[in-house]
Chains A and B, each alone.
Chain A
Amino acid sequence: MSTQTTANETFNDSHVLDPAATTVSQESISKEITDIHAAYRQSVVDGKKAETQPRIDFAPYRSSLLRHPTKNLHHADPETIELHSPAFGERDVHALESDLTIQHNGEPIGERIVVTGRVLDGDGRPVAGQLVEIWQANAAGRYIHKRDQHPAPIDPNFTGVGRAITGPNGEYSFTTIKPAPYPWKNHHNAWRPAHIHFSLFGTDFTQRMITQMYFPGDPLFPLDPIYQAITDKDARDRLVATYDHSITSHEWATGYNWDIVLTGSNRTWMEDEEGDH
């Protein structure tokens, strides 16, 4: 990959509207994605383990080229501080912060939605009392961020930021506005599928993660190198929320359900191991 491409896509010129600033075509990016996925599926047929996480080295996502470690992650036995997690509580997060539609004086524009689900760990246990942070674009696909200069309107009644603490069963719920897709500078005519960013802690700090929730049926999925960096279809599907009419409320909001699974707790595993012997 030429360094020129990389220089062109720093956010310093992310506001440049000239589409010629990014010359690689969608067809070319899609071909790269298709080839990587085909090689992955063949490797599974050949007996390799399914990949459940995104590849950090995924060339169709151009920004990953110089930002992925080239050496394998070094395996560590978690110790002391890694087996714990910071504490968050009502002192940190007000109950109203989970409603992104009431943060200003008026109603934000767009489709009001409720997104709800549970945070579980890899053993199926609810992760209670933990901080969930979300951020997103508004109904026009614009973030409130000085580096986002996409020419779509800012909604004065929507910042697109929410926080919640999970309940006793790991449950969370946000009331917000459905975000829109937006263009970015990865390649010519690149558009991100609509998504909400989620930040999660866990009971071990080793469970810390940031991810994105997507909406079902988005036609931009096959075109998006960030979403497609997850080479395994089952794993990709885990990032898509389910429309749930039982969450939808009459004349008020449509409803989506999305459960999040963190990795297993190393701390609990060690305690269990001791208990087993």
Chain B
Amino acid sequence: MAQSPNTQAPALKLAATPGQTIGPFYGYALPFEKDNELVNQAHPASVRLHGVVTDGAGTVIPDALLEIWQADEHGNIVSKDGSLVRDGYTFTGWGRTAVDNVGHYTFTTLNPGATEAGKAPFIMLTVFARGLLNRLFTRIYLPEDTAALASDPLLSSLDDAQRKTLIATREEDGSLRFDISLQGEDETVFLSYPRES
């Protein structure tokens, strides 16, 4: 893909509406049945993605909500509806979950494939929480393809400590562990994009 330098992004005509915190009371609005199951647990290639969300004191955050968005295992970006009414068969690539009382989250999903040969596959993650005045974006990279990770432009622009916060750990049972720190020494690297105002 041809990459244009970001400095060439034309000015936006309209200023974006400001974000606000999700607050603690999203209650029945955002969670939905099987919201964190991008695939059924019985799917032969299903993978558990999980971790905890912590604040600057290292305390778990019990009122965060996370969303992921990813390619399928072959690196295809799907655009199929049915995320809110999961039929158990269609992979839509998108999931949402509220963390539990101890700040832990779980998604059941697939290992994303590389969207282009040689690219490092990743899952896009969005963090919402009470106390967080605007959503945060980050990426969860898979740990295996070390050559692709080494040549990834985003990871290459980070120092070792920062890079570590974006690469998931593969646990013995095959699950992916990815912890999120909103603040502090092991603060997760959060991202901004060229056309954000």
Contact A11 B24 (CB under 8 A): yes
Contact residues in A for B195 (Cβ distance below 8 Å): 122, 206, 263-266, 269
Residues of A within 8 A of B (CB-CB), count: 91
Residues of B within 8 A of A (CB-CB), count: 86
- Per-position binary interface string of chain B over residues 45-62, scored 1 when its CB falls under 8 Å from any chain A CB and 0 otherwise: 000000000011101011
Check: A226 CB closer than 8 A to any chain B CB.
Answer: yes
CA gap between A234 and B16 in the complex, in Å: 11
In chain B, positions 154-197 with a C-beta closer than 8 Å to chain A are 154, 157-158, 162, 182-184, 187-197
Among the listed B13, B15, B83, B126, which residue makes an inter-chain contact with A88, where contact means beta carbons less than 8 Å apart? B83
Check: B148 CB closer than 8 A to any chain A CB.
Answer: no
Closest to B58 in A: A66
Which label, helix, strand, loop or mixed, suits the secondary structure of the A interface? loop
Among the listed A64, A84, A135, A147, which residue makes an inter-chain contact with B132, where contact means beta carbons less than 8 Å apart? A64
Closest to A148 in B: B25
Contact residues in A for B69 (Cβ distance below 8 Å): 81, 85-86, 205
Contact residues in B for A160 (Cβ distance below 8 Å): 29
Not counting A52-B18, A263-B196, a sample of 15 additional A-B residue pairs whose C-beta atoms are within 8 angstroms of each other reads A10-B62, A14-B24, A61-B131, A63-B131, A67-B131, A69-B136, A77-B193, A80-B77, A84-B79, A122-B14, A124-B13, A160-B29, A208-B126, A211-B19, A264-B197
A residues touching B (Cβ–Cβ < 8 Å)? 3, 6, 10-11, 14, 52-56, 58, 61, 63-71, 73-82, 84-89, 91-93, 120-124, 131, 133-135, 137, 143-148, 159-161, 163, 197, 199, 204-206, 208-212, 226-227, 229-230, 234-236, 238-239, 260-266, 269-270, 272-274
